[in-house]
Amino acid sequence: MSDAASNLLAPTNEDTCGPYFPIYFADPALEDLTRVDPGLVGQAAGTPIILRGRVLDRHGELANGAILEFWQANAKGLYRTPETEGHPDIDPWFHGYGRLRSASGAYEFKTILPGATDGRAPHITITIFSDGISRIVTQMFFSDHAGNDADPVLQSVGDDAPKLIARHDGRTASGAEVYVFDIIMAGAGETPFFDDLES
């Protein structure tokens, strides 16, 4: 995109969040999307899942201080955006945006399994911020979903598709399905990342 050739304002540069993103800004409501608040009646529809894994650097070491942001559709496969406002399949107790900061580089995110829709297999977009980088973006999928084979994102990365698919790892005593998804920021086994500026 050539800004010089258009009337667009020149964007402020993205920059690293550095190592000291304030833990003070943590918001428990964004780390568990299955319910609105522990003291309130109101809970997202769908299958509760725990998505856990590690963010690793190119030497295989944990990337400490990483911030992960999640974006996903509700159990019926509908994203909550200005375009879907008022849609009958909107879940009033699910907005689909999550965020956490991992001190160690290992993470755990509680949410519901997103639904499949519009030719897309269930998926969650993950944005990663950390020291040393500005912003990188990927999208993860769930093992054993018949729709994975036909998903355009998985197809687009070819032989790298398995790197975007979380492994199912059983069910917790409280009934949440567990999925494991490691993110390799660089080097051998590097996770495919996507360009939302040039695409």
Nearest to 79 by CA among 43, 114, 27: 114
Please name the amino acid found at residue 8: L
Determine contact, residues 86/29, Cβ cutoff 8 Å.
no
93 binds, among another protein, Fe ion, none (CB under 5 to 8 A by kind): none
Determine contact, residues 80/95, Cβ cutoff 8 Å.
yes
CB of 51 to another protein, least distance (A): 16
Interface with Fe ion (CB under 5 A), residue from 3, 14, 16, 18: 18
# of chain residues touching Fe ion (CB under 5 A): 1
89 binds, among another protein, Fe ion, none (CB under 5 to 8 A by kind): none
Please give the residue whose beta carbon sits closest to Fe ion in the complex. 18
CB of 101 to another protein, least distance (A): 11
CB of 165 to another protein, least distance (A): 15
111 binds, among another protein, Fe ion, none (CB under 5 to 8 A by kind): none
**How many Cα atoms within 13 Å fall on the side-chain side of residue 42?**
13
CB of 21 to Fe ion, least distance (A): 10
Nearest CB to Fe ion, comparing residues 15 and 144 = 15
Cβ neighbourhood burial of 185 (10 Å; 0-12, 13-18, 19+): buried
Nearest to 67 by CA among 125, 24, 126, 123: 126
Helix (H) or strand (E) segment spanning residue 49:
strand 48-56
Which residues contribute to the site for Fe ion (CB under 5 A)? Answer: 18
